[in-house]
A and B are shown apart, each in its own frame.
Chain A
Amino acid sequence: MEVRRDPVTGENTTGHEWDGLEELDKNVPWPFKLGLVIAIAIAAVMWVMLPSWPHISSDKWPYVTDYTKGTIGYSDRGRVARNLALLADTQAKFDKRFTDRDLKDLLADPEARKSYFAAAATLFRENCAMCHGRKITGRPRFPNLADNQWLWSGDVDGIYETIKYGINSEHDDSRSGSMPAFGKDEMLDLDQIHDVVEYVMKISGQKHLPDAAKRGAGLFKEHCVACHQKGGVGNANNGAPNLTDDEWIYEGHKKTVYQSVFYGRAGVMPHWVDRLRDAEMRQLALYVKWVGADIAAQKAVELKNKPESKVTEKLDGKDEDE
């Protein structure tokens, strides 16, 4: 088939023919061509403006260790450094009103609460809620922060320090305290552990075997009071928990208390000084106290409003948690 002019469109054909079908030799529409030219032009400009070509640098010849930096000197790392500097400025402004003041002072200041609370709640959710729960009430193995029972200092400065350096954490200034493994390390035999556990059940007001508890009392005096203090009330200076209340980190059943005595415990609170700003750790310490106080207040109200009839209901053997 010959190349010929198509009478309808006035274009030439390519000269190809398939079963009588012919193909017009049409040009690419000019807007497409223009688009291509513009794209190439943009690329050329960007090559000049942005980092683009790797090249050999004179001091490490013949290795390719350098690149053209571009005329505007853009770098991702530079941009993020600038953005973070801006962020730090904003944060400094936000923190400024409070960084110079005493934490105890801030705790009682309703305006501080207004300014910090929302930010601290977000921080708590992002960093602390994993273990302590969104409602700060903890779960087995992870302490309840709302019960006003503290292993270590429970005042706001003490909490700040715990957040900063952690407990049994990898930080050098970490608080450290651990329960020895009386069973595993053969300081007590199994019968003795059994007796001590019964004694702990007794002082925490749970069901216990009186004879065993009596024997356990002596052992407790000998082995446990150094940390847990006389009567097992705990010691905030070495992180020994109070054994007489009904708040437990490891649930406080006979079984788990037995495990604690046999294998020991050394719960870990991570340190946050490398991850959070100082102001953020202060906010968190305040937040824990604020929410703790709220929950305590709420509980007090509930207790007060509890109808008298409840007591009789309880005596009837009905479920006390409705």
Chain B
Amino acid sequence: MSKLHQMIERNSLVMVLMITIVASIGGIIEIAPLFTIENTIEKVEGMRPYTPLELAGRDIYVREGCYACHSQMIRTLKTDVDRYGHYSLAAESMYDHPFQWGSKRTGPDLARVGLKYSDDWHVAHMKEPRRFVEGSIMPGYAFLADNDLDLDRAPLSLKALRMAGDPYTDKMIAEAKQDILRQADPELEGEDDLEERYGEKVQIRDFDGQPKRVTEMDAIVAYLQMLGTLIDPKQVSDKIRAEEAAKSKALKGESQ
């Protein structure tokens, strides 16, 4: 055994000091980048916080453990992009607390499932998934259409997310309950208010085919139908493609 090693092992104070240094390397590498996160996530146009109805749907998504089988992150792989659409951008998860990236795909990725299928399909598929997709092992969620949505949670959820840094205003929180009804019932007044608060891309309609009620099915379908619809990811990838083209042109120029 070397002299140095012997000295460290036999001197507890030196030992503690060395352990602290080694352990903190891992800590620094994991924690330090978080301090720069505000500056490193690229800015994209179109992201907005969830509407109260979508947020309720997201809570149901988490409650039912959908993330265990469905990822919400399209990776920077050719096969992923070819199948699911443009790869996910960090900014698309900026209002997710916690994010739903997932690490296991038993079902398909859902990051851009919004508007891929009709509401009718989502509702029917939620009720009897294995009837609609051959080889599916997804359990049925028919009860979501029977459960009335708990509206009282909405302002509290918004408030909690504001503490986590989402830009919900006092007005949004005060109107949260009413905004849920406005989004799920196209005949209610106040469509403009909703769009003013959450942008023009808010989808306002009766999602679950039960116009008289606002159910958990309304919420989950509203959530699924907005996934990936807010931003145009090409604003980022066009830049990258142009850079790559320029790079390969430069390479070709060199070789000639």
Interface residues of chain A, those whose CB is within 8 Å of chain B, are 14, 25, 54, 60, 63-65, 73, 75-85, 87, 126-127, 129-131, 134, 139, 141-142, 169-170, 184, 263, 267-271, 275
Contact = CB atoms under 8 A, between A and B. Distances in A.
Contact of A77 (B33, B115, B237, B248): B237
A130 B39 contact: no
A167 to B, nearest CB: 9
Contacts of B133: 130
A77 B124 contact: no
A25 B1 contact: yes
A64 to B, nearest CB: 4
A142 B133 CA distance: 14
B36 A81 contact: no
Contacts of A270: 115-118
B76 interface: yes
A258 to B, nearest CB: 15
B63 interface: no
A64 B36 contact: yes
Given A78-B240, A141-B120, A142-B121, A130 B132 contact: yes
B230 to A, nearest CB: 13
Interface string B215-256: 000000000000000000000010011011001100000000
Contacts of B50: none
Contacts, number: 86
B118 A268 contact: yes
A81, A129, A142, A269: residue with the most chain B Cβ atoms closer than 10 Å: A81
A218 B217 CA distance: 40
Contacts of A63: 36, 39
Interface in B169-193: none
Give the 9 A-B CB pairs with smallest separation, nearest first.
A268-B118, A83-B78, A64-B36, A76-B76, A80-B76, A63-B39, A65-B39, A81-B244, A81-B241
A284 to B, nearest CB: 14
B39 A60 contact: yes
B81 interface: yes
Contacts of B241: 81, 85
Contacts of A60: 39
A83 B75 CA distance: 13
Contacts of B87: 77, 80
B120 A130 contact: no
Given A81-B237, A85-B241, A87-B78, A131 B121 contact: yes
B120 A267 contact: yes
Given A60-B39, A77-B237, A84-B78, A134 B244 contact: no
Nearest to A125: B134
A51 to B, nearest CB: 12
B117 A130 contact: yes
Contacts of A184: 211
Contacts of A84: 78, 81-82
Contacts of B81: 80, 84
Given A270-B115, A270-B118, A82 B39 contact: no
A77 B243 CA distance: 11
A223 to B, nearest CB: 21
